[in-house]
């Protein structure tokens, strides 16, 4: 079960990384759409915003998953591996899991209303703003699931789960 959850998270992150290409294309196209075509630049911007929200949500989890996030590694390098694993487990129990679940529970009604109502961008009226809010839920759910996967691996004596690569 845990291995399937770990693979599911990896699969989601692997798929979302490809959003970088359309995001860059939309950023590039905004100027010619505005200045030459005289249309659709705001639509390109709105689409880019919700793609970027999903991309950032996945990127935070991918960085944590690859152990590439900001950390006090300069100090932690001096600790024994077992001490680092204990600190990581404590961080998951004391910070990541409760924080992500609390914020997810707090944001769920707002996200639910936004999705149910098909919330639009306020300045353009274009559809899709609900996806920006949904990205918060995706971020928090992925953080909680990844913290749970890492915590179970740490408590079972493994420093980290076996993964194909750090760039899933």
Q: What is the pLDDT of residues 125-139, one digit of tens each?
A: 999 999 999 999 999
Rounded to 5 degrees, what angle do the CA atoms 133, 138, 144 make?
130
Mean pLDDT of the chain: 85
How much of the chain exceeds pLDDT 70, in percent?
89
Residue 77 burial (C-beta neighbours within 10 Å; 0-12, 13-18, 19+): exposed
Q: What is the pLDDT of residues 8-22, one digit of tens each?
A: 888 989 999 899 999
CA dist list (Å): 107 to 65, 145, 157: 23, 17, 34
The full set of domain ranges for the chain reads: 2-68+78-155
Q: What is the pLDDT of residues 75-114, one digit of tens each?
A: 777 888 888 778 877 888 888 889 999 999 999 999 999 9
């Amino acid at each position: 079960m845990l291995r399937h959850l770990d693979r599911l998270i990896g699969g989601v992150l692997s798929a979302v990384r490809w959003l970088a290409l359309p995001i860059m294309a939309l950023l590039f196209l905004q100027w010619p759409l505005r200045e030459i075509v005289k249309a659709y630049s705001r639509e390109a911007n709105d689409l880019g915003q919700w793609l970027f929200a999903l991309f950032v949500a996945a990127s935070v989890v991918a960085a944590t998953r690859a152990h590439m996030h900001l950390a006090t590694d300069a100090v932690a390098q001096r600790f024994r591996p077992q001490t680092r694993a204990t600190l990581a487990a404590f961080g998951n129990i004391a910070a990541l899991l409760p924080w992500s679940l609390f914020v997810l529970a707090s944001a769920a009604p707002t996200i639910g209303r936004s999705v149910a109502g098909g919330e639009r961008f306020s300045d353009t009226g274009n559809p899709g703003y609900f996806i920006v809010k949904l990205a918060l839920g995706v971020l928090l759910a992925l953080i909680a699931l990844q913290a749970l996967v890492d915590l179970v691996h740490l408590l079972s004596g493994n420093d980290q789960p076996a993964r194909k690569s750090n760039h899933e």
